[in-house]
Structure 1
Amino acid sequence: MQPINRRSLLAGATATAVALAEGDGRAQALAAAGGSDVYELRTYRLVHGSMKERLDAYLQDAFIPAARRAGCGPVGVFTVVIGPGSPSVHVLVTHPTIVHFASLPSQLAADPSYAMAAKQFTDANPEAPSYAALDVKLMQAFPHFPRVQVPDTRKDKDRIFELRTYFSHSDKAGATKIGMFDTGGEIELFRRHGLTPVFFAQDLTGARLPSLTYLLNFPNVETRDRNWGAFGADPAWRQLIGTPGLTDPEITTGIENQILRPTSYSQI
């Protein structure tokens, strides 16, 4: 495979930064035209006990079937095993548009099959709640990575996912980091070293904007550790992150990282 060209990386990152941060609207127009999916990441905060079993039953028997009937794409369900937030469950819901995201509650309310299947979960009383808290983050898929890519490792019993969020100090810095991935070649470097992406997205809501979030898939923890090591040692990657304007201190202020395991009924 040919090495990544540093100039093309910088040019790609800069072009996307201009589109996202300086107002020419090219990336936004692509999204508005239906070029990129919208992701809803629900995080159910739990306490140890029966909450997880009730949540699993609700998601598998009520929510996922109804969401698919309503036009959502694949729904992924993941338990946090390493990182902040445990015990909690992430539910990744794929929407074709923001309008579809906004209309989903009313579509569920009008679905009699959903109402019947969800009754035990939705009618829980305060003494035995279905969850401790619910957080929702909305994301827009990158223009050049517009759809969830369902991994081909669904039969691997030890498979894991890695959810990472990068934070930046300004819209321009955040857009530059998005550009490194979306048009600058960083995703190609990921694939080269077995960091298999499921989605890349710009966060539209959240406590520490601007930020971006992505999800990777691995057959097991050992492969994850080995592949990250190979990626970090790649001369093309070392050259990229040493490029003025693309270094971590210039465009990122922190990273959050979680290791997840899919549930048996997850569609991703």
Structure 2
Amino acid sequence: MAYPVDRRSLLAGAALGGVTLASADARAQSRPGPATRQVIYELRTYHLVNGPMRARLDAYLREAFIPAARRAGCGPVGVFTVAIGEGSPSVLVLVAHPSMADFLAMPDRMGSDARYAKAAEPFANATPEAPPYASMDVKLMRAFPHVPDLEVPDAASGNAARIFELRTYYSHSDKSGATKIDMFDTGGEIAIFRRTGLTPVFFAKDLTGHRLPSLTYMLTFQDLATRERNWKTFATDPAWRKLIATPGLTDPEITTGIGNQILAPTSYSQI
């Protein structure tokens, strides 16, 4: 089966380098050094049309793609639908790749996987009259240096009740985007998140996308009521109020907008 995107072309022009901020030096000196390895996240959005498409795509992801991706050394793999926000009906697939080399190698690894080829036959041989999806977008992201790995929520192991919030912050320049990343990664914002019940799944710099520069992160909650309560706790936290009022770190100075979706995991999601 042909892979749906040319991964090497996807990387052309991507902002693979980071911007080092002199203002971050003092804060970083007192914090653990960044990990030498950072996960690469691939976020696929399969756009659907209401009807049988969803069942076809679910069968492919559950029975073919996820097992083969794990055998190829990637994962965990999260699969979600949009509960609140733009994009419904669609299915979002989050794949954690150990490195950029693993991202690039996965198509060849899956292409030589006989079990994948057999399980993916219905997907690979779909006709125009019975497609598994209408279109697909792919976004590539690199984990923050100090949050280098995906954090699977405990609720995933037993498929317990949980929801996810996927947020993207947009900035007007590389410098402002790097400042916002530093504010999270070494400036203390993630620590405030954790303390106030905003539980991270990942934080990442967007390498591809339609409104770069940007960053994306995912949080998890038990339910919407917990989400609302914990965001209120965060918004009134004294450390957060002080941080967001710091000159150079205010929202008008470093962000131009925020995208937000509430996601529900499928029964077979590994996240």
Q: TM-score range by the shorter chain?
A: 0.7 to 0.9
- Partners of 1:22 and 1:183 in 2: CA distance: 12
Q: Structure 1 residue 20: deviation in Å?
A: 2.8
Q: Helix, strand or coil: the match of 2:267?
A: coil
Q: 4+ residue stretches of structure 1 with deviation over 6 A? A: none
Q: Structure 1 residue 48: deviation in Å?
A: 0.5
> 2:141 aligns to what?
139
Query: Match for 2:204 among 180, 201, 204?
Result: 201
Query: Match for 2:229 among 223, 226, 230?
Result: 226
> 2:262 aligns to what?
259
CA contact (8 A) 1:165 1:257 kept: yes
The change in CA–CA distance for 1:240 and 1:88 in structure 2 (over 3 A counts) is same
Counterpart code for 1:234: D
> 1:189 aligns to what?
192
> 2:94 aligns to what?
92
- Partners of 2:205 and 2:102 in 1: CA distance: 18
The change in CA–CA distance for 1:95 and 1:34 in structure 2 (over 3 A counts) is farther
Pairing 1:13-52 to 2, within 5 Å after superposition? 20-22=18-20, 34-52=36-54
Query: Match for 1:62 among 56, 61, 64?
Result: 64
The change in CA–CA distance for 1:179 and 1:79 in structure 2 (over 3 A counts) is same
Q: Helix, strand or coil: the match of 1:73?
A: coil
Q: Helix, strand or coil: the match of 1:21?
A: coil
Calculate the aligned-residue CA RMSD, in Å: 2.0
- Partners of 2:159 and 2:237 in 1: CA distance: 27
The change in CA–CA distance for 1:156 and 1:110 in structure 2 (over 3 A counts) is closer
Identity of aligned residues (%): 67
Q: How many positions carry a matched residue from both structures?
A: 246
- Partners of 2:142 and 2:171 in 1: CA distance: 17
- Partners of 2:109 and 2:187 in 1: CA distance: 39
Alignment TM-score, normalising by the size of structure 2? 0.87
CA contact (8 A) 2:21 2:179 kept: no
CA contact (8 A) 1:34 1:96 kept: no
- Partners of 1:159 and 1:95 in 2: CA distance: 23
- Partners of 1:68 and 1:156 in 2: CA distance: 19
Cα shift readout 1:233-258 (whole Å, capped 9, x = no counterpart): 11211111111000000000000000
CA contact (8 A) 2:21 2:178 kept: no
- Partners of 2:64 and 2:205 in 1: CA distance: 29
> 1:118 aligns to what?
120
Q: Which consecutive unaligned segments of at least 5 residues does structure 2 have? A: 1-16, 26-32
Q: Structure 1 residue 266: deviation in Å?
A: 0.7
Q: Structure 1 residue 183: deviation in Å?
A: 0.5
CA contact (8 A) 2:37 2:99 kept: no
Q: Structure 1 residue 73: deviation in Å?
A: 2.3
Q: Which consecutive unaligned segments of at least 5 residues does structure 1 have? A: 1-18
- Partners of 2:21 and 2:141 in 1: CA distance: 19
Q: Helix, strand or coil: the match of 1:267?
A: coil
Q: Helix, strand or coil: the match of 1:143?
A: coil
- Partners of 1:47 and 1:82 in 2: CA distance: 17
- Partners of 1:249 and 1:202 in 2: CA distance: 20
- Partners of 2:176 and 2:208 in 1: CA distance: 17
- Partners of 2:76 and 2:146 in 1: CA distance: 19
Cα shift readout 1:183-210 (whole Å, capped 9, x = no counterpart): 1110111011110000000000001000
Cα shift readout 1:14-60 (whole Å, capped 9, x = no counterpart): xxxxx932599x9xxx99x8511100001100110111111111111
> 1:73 aligns to what?
75
Counterpart code for 1:46: L
Alignment TM-score, normalising by the size of structure 1? 0.88
> 1:211 aligns to what?
214
- Partners of 1:258 and 1:35 in 2: CA distance: 28
> 1:105 aligns to what?
107
